[in-house]
Amino acid sequence: MESIAFYIIASIVIVSALLMVTSRQLVHSIVYMVVSFIGVGALFILLQAEFVAAVQILVYAGGIVVLFLFVVMLVNLNEVNEGEYLHRQWLPAGAMLLVLVAEIGYLLWGGAGALAVAPEQAETVLRAVEQGNTETIGMSLYTDFLLPFEIASMLLLVAMIGAIYLAQKRV
Amino acid sequence: MGTLGLGHYLLLSAVLFGIGVIGVLVRRNVIMVLMCLELIFNAANINLVAVARFRPDLAGQIFTIFTITVAAAEAAIGLGLVIAMFRNAQTVNVDDVHLLEG
């Protein structure tokens, strides 16, 4: 059952990612990107990471996509759509990518014994018996990972100021 | 079908990473390049969450949350740069921006 769900979701994610990369219209690409992001969120649910799945849907399929849509509306699409939509050097890029994927595949193939892990003991760590996944993550985030959490909030503040400064209209 | 292992997720993530890389390399529109970067971030997130599931270690999921934070910051800054680029150069094609070219 789980593997059937995995294959369905994985095919949705990969097909929508391919359509996103190849589609000529920018808005179509964004729609396919939403589908791919939601599929990745479903994969997170399959991996028993409910909180991360919720964050994925909220931040990616919600926030970032709206950001992209705003920028697509801000830049002039009529001018953008003209001419070639692919880079001139797409052939060498594709060859390089084939080499890269072959390398990754070889590594995964060669390390198959190391990668085969029994998932039986997974339940206890990811979800404490009386707590849910969200509570466990929240507890860990505010105790063990408190400093990275604060640094991430600083990063978001800096990014917000930088984005406002970059996008403002010079007077 | 067989049982689902870590290798399945890693392979899916590798394929998604490859699609993202080919998009970054091939597309001329800079907005599209940023979107493909988000795809690459997603592939890395799948890796982290899958390892957190099978290892098992909760730190992978927490790292994923930080990765999503950084991705959001990157998207905001990148799109601000796109707007600044469009205002100055009147284009969003990466090939047409060659101010430093001799």
Of B54, B68, B93, the CB nearest to A119: B54
CB of B89 within 8 Å of any CB in chain A? no
Q: What is the DSSP letter of B101?
A: -
pTM over 0.90: no
**Residues A11-51 pLDDT 10s:** 999 999 999 998 888 889 999 999 999 999 999 999 888 99
For range A66-95, the mean pLDDT:
76
Q: How confident is the model at residue A114 (pLDDT cuts 50, 70, 90)?
A: very low
Q: Are B44 and B71 in contact (CB under 8 A)?
A: no
CA distance A167 to B68: 22
CA distance A17 to B23: 10
Measured CA distances, B2 to A1, A2, A8, A46, A122 (Å): 10, 10, 15, 16, 19
- Scanning A91-110 for CB atoms below 8 A from B yields 93-94, 96-97, 100-101, 104-105, 108
**Which DSSP string do the residues of A58-108 spell out, in sequence order?**
IIIIIIIHHHHHHHHHHS-HHHHTSS--B-TTHHHHHHHHHHHHHHHHHHH
Under an 8 A CB cutoff, do A159 and B77 touch? yes
CB of B97 within 8 Å of any CB in chain A? no
Under an 8 A CB cutoff, do A21 and B22 touch? yes
Of B8, B35, B91, the CB nearest to A29: B35
Under an 8 A CB cutoff, do B56 and A126 touch? yes
With a CB cutoff of 8 Å and minimum separation 6, the contacts of A83 are none
Report residues of chain B scoring pLDDT below 70. 1-2, 102
Q: Residue-wise over A26-45: b if at least 16 C-beta within 10 A, else e? A: beebbbbbbbbbbbbbbbbb
